A and B are shown apart, each in its own frame.
Chain A
Amino acid sequence: MLPRFWRKIKYRYNLVGTYCENCGTYYYPPRNLCPKCRRKSRIKEVQLSGKGKVISYSVVHDAPENFKMMKPYVVALIQLDEGPVITSQLVCKPEEVKIGMRVKAVFRKYGEEGESGIIYYGTKFVPDEKIG
């Protein structure tokens, strides 16, 4: 678990995706090759904005051990403004979530391996409320 998580830290802490300069498509998770352009792909790594909208969601009531304290929680399919769709926990009350609602990426704890183990951090989403 530990080395596997460590190698992916860069992509969990930040929404680092790829962009094909040939056709203008964004990918998350990152890809080495653009499936549309194949050999003509011109791929570069980009930081995605972290803004998007909910296109589907479900409320998890039967949570795995590590997430028990957070249930019921929302897992949503989120379309980023750049195009890619990702699955993520959406931190809000189940009754708050709506299809089409604007959300933004935040840095949160994923879980921990007991009281003496490692703590995992990464990207989750919250409603993009305008403050002030």
Chain B
Amino acid sequence: MVGIVSYGTYIPKFRIKVEEIARIWGENAETIKNGLGILQKSVPDFDEDTATIAVEAGREAVRRARIDPKEIGAVYVGSESHPYAVKPTATIVGEALGVGNEYFAADLEFACKAGTAGIQICMGLVKAGMIKYGLAIGADTSQSRPGDALEYSAAAGGAAVVIGNDGVIAEIEGTYSFTSDTPDFWRREGQPYPSHGGRFTGIPAYFRHITSAAKGLMEELGLKPSDFSYAVFHQPNGKFPVRVAKMLGFSTEQIKQGLVVSHIGNTYSGSSLLGLCAVLDEAKPGDRILLVSFGSGAGSDAFSLIVTDEIDDFERTPKVWDKVMSGEFIDYGLYVKLRRKIKFG
């Protein structure tokens, strides 16, 4: 039985409110909050990046798993903001977690779904008997052009999951991906900020891929929305996941627990995984969870998970929602400095 053995999360402590960003750019904060379904977002400290976030989330996951880190046979870090263009983040994580030197490792990139792609790779390796445990991480410190609409949502955070078939807290009963060549969002080499296709990011990108992956998975497993206790969809803002849930026939009640975007923004590769971890914080044995990520470019990975009895003995504090709701507010000036948006000379 392959599944999630443990999970850990990390959200930087700083927050900036929509009001504060709107104040600088002369926009109406209420309109933006209503339009995006976002009140505030997380901001990394000056000495935090995707590697430090991945390490902190990974450490929590390994500690809660109560396993010897040397039993981890694979480390995959998914992100669109790896600190280096060439030089893996996964080796920094492997070293900091004390995984040793005998492990498979690579950095993954697929916009916001690189973390769930890592889960699928680890599942395959575990099922093939090539590794005992695999660590899949989705982490980002996403950048946004000053004044761009993305500035209200582009945030930082990450989640790590240990995949294995021993001590599983949530069995993965199936996974299904839907992929197509769709240029809805991109960043060329050497460019500091990403570009996006505006409204094009909606219907042909996010909604088409998520609904196709979710329907494909449910069809394959013979399941319907009412079979699930919870559903988590990628959260680029607070509106898209609510609308896609409705399109697929899921209720607000099913998605509420995993919807963390309103208070931390879009954590990109961390987004759907942080939502899943928030659900696992509350889930009971027997609960079935649907997880569907989305990565621009474009693709969606869907998973159906069944929570096992092992979850009752699993350490689940501090909870994701406690991390989401804590934090310290900063102003736009400090935000610009922390995000290195000022260029000297």
Query: Interface residues, chain A, CB within 8 Å of chain B?
Result: 9-10, 13-14, 47, 69-70, 91, 106-110, 119, 121, 124, 131-132
Decide: B318 and A132 in contact? CB cutoff 8 A: yes
List B contacts of A14 (CB < 8 A).
Answer: 96, 98
CA distance in complex: A10, B45 (Å): 24
Question: Chain B: which residue is nearest A118 at the CB level?
Answer: B87
In the bound complex, residues from chain B placing their C-beta under 8 Å from that of A91 are 45, 47
Q: Which residues of chain B are within 8 angstroms of A10 by Cβ–Cβ distance?
A: 95
Question: Which residue numbers of B lie inside 8 Å of A, CB to CB?
Answer: 45-49, 51-52, 55-56, 59, 83-84, 92, 95-96, 98, 317-319, 322-323, 326, 337
CB distance from A107 to the nearest CB of B (A): 4
Closest residue of chain B to A16 (Cβ to Cβ) is B98
On whether the beta carbons of B337 and A121 are closer than 8 Å, the reply is no
Q: A47-B98, A108-B52, A109-B48 are in contact. Are A131 and B323 (CB under 8 A)?
A: yes
Residues of A within 8 A of B96 (CB): 13-14, 107, 121
Instruction: Establish whether residues B322 and A124, one from each chain, have CB atoms under 8 Å apart when the complex forms.
Output: no
Please tell me if the beta carbons of A107 and B322 are within 8 angstroms of each other in the complex: no
Known A13-B96, A110-B47, A132-B322; 20 more pairs at CB < 8 Å: A9-B95, A13-B95, A69-B46, A70-B46, A70-B47, A91-B45, A106-B56, A107-B55, A107-B59, A107-B96, A108-B45, A108-B47, A109-B49, A109-B51, A119-B51, A121-B51, A121-B55, A131-B322, A132-B318, A132-B319
Name A105's closest neighbour in chain B (CB-CB).
B59
Complex: A13 Cα to B83 Cα, angstroms: 17
* Chain B residue with the shortest CB-CB distance to A89: B47
B189 CB to closest chain A CB (Å) equals: 14
Q: How far is the CB of A13 from chain B (nearest CB, A)?
A: 4
Nearest-Cβ distance from residue A44 to partner chain B, whole angstroms: 16
Is A121's CB under 8 angstroms from B92's CB?
A: yes
Contact call A131/B84, Cβ cutoff below 8 A:
no
> In the assembled complex, which residues on chain B have CB atoms less than 8 Å from the CB atom of A119?
49, 51, 83-84
A130 CA to B317 CA in the complex, in Å?
10
Q: In whole angstroms, how far apart are the Cα atoms of A109 and B52 in the complex?
A: 7
